Amino acid sequence: MLQHKGTVTIETIRLILRKFERTDANDMFHNWASDPEVCKYLSWGPHKDISASKKRIKYILQSYSYPDTYQWAIVLKNRKHVIGSISVEIKNTLDSSCEIGYCIGREFWNQGIMTEALRAVMHYLFYEIGYQKIVAKHDLLNPASGRVMQKAGMKFTEIIEKVGIRRDGSSYDCAVYTKYKDED
């Protein structure tokens, strides 16, 4: 049984994961959402101007009125500004499963930040909310994302071929990773 508590603040060694705030639009735009390289394998973006980031934040803030919204801003403690996001993208109450998505600005890649965020979020979703299964997927051309899933303890499950169309028109295959609650 799921006990929704929403996007509560989570602290890790280097990070604060918290709800987005209206004033985060500038960080969102400059730190990650305007960068085509960050958005290369994502279903959205890049944002062309700050109004797109403001619109996105407005939508996120509205979504917080639902207690089953899990959408965190990732704040580096020593920099104080928002460098990315991690969220539950898809929820399935029938089997208490959910799918997580994430991104951070290029300047912050390869420092173990997303692995730290994903581990903390998975722990919260399993042990505070009651999810039994957490899934994440990545484009096969984006192995860094798969590496994050592996380092966070998820297991490779399957490859789904031709699952969607990238913005450049090419079709892509994705790798699926899964972690079950209390699984080693």
Ligand X SMILES: CC(C)(COP(=O)(O)OP(=O)(O)OC[C@H]1O[C@@H](n2cnc3c(N)ncnc32)[C@H](O)[C@@H]1OP(=O)(O)O)[C@@H](O)C(=O)NCCC(=O)NCCS
Asked if 164 touches ligand X (CB under 6 A), the answer is no
- Type of residue numbered 43: S
Q: How far is it, in rounded angstroms, from Cα 83 to Cα 115?
A: 14
Q: Determine the 3-state secondary structure of 179 from DSSP.
A: strand
Q: Is 83 exposed, middle or buried (0-12, 13-18, 19+ CB in 10 A)?
A: buried
Chosen residue from 88, 100, 114, 154 binding ligand X by CB under 6 A? 114
- Type of residue numbered 161: E
Closer CB to ligand X, residue 2 or residue 16? 16
Asked if 115 touches ligand X (CB under 6 A), the answer is yes
Q: Determine the 3-state secondary structure of 23 from DSSP.
A: helix
Q: How far is it, in rounded angstroms, from Cα 91 to Cα 11?
A: 24
Closer CB to ligand X, residue 25 or residue 175? 175
Closest among 158, 155, 159 to 180, alpha carbons compared: 155
Cβ 51 vs Cβ 44: under 8 Å: no
Distance of CA 89 to the CA centre of its chain: 8
Q: How far is it, in rounded angstroms, from Cα 102 to Cα 138?
A: 10
Tell me which stretch binds ligand X (CB under 6 A): 3-11, 17-25, 55-63, 106-114: 106-114
Binding flags for ligand X, 16-55, as an x/- string (CB under 6 A): ----------------------x--xx-------------
Task: Tell the smallest beta-carbon distance from residue 79 to ligand X (Å).
Answer: 14
- Site for ligand X, residues 132 to 151, rule: CB under 6 A: 138, 142-145, 147-148
Asked if 111 touches ligand X (CB under 6 A), the answer is yes
Asked if 63 touches ligand X (CB under 6 A), the answer is no
Asked if 78 touches ligand X (CB under 6 A), the answer is no
Chosen residue from 88, 113, 122, 134 binding ligand X by CB under 6 A? 113
Residue numbers at the binding site for ligand X (CB under 6 A): 38, 41-42, 102-104, 109-115, 138, 142-145, 147-148
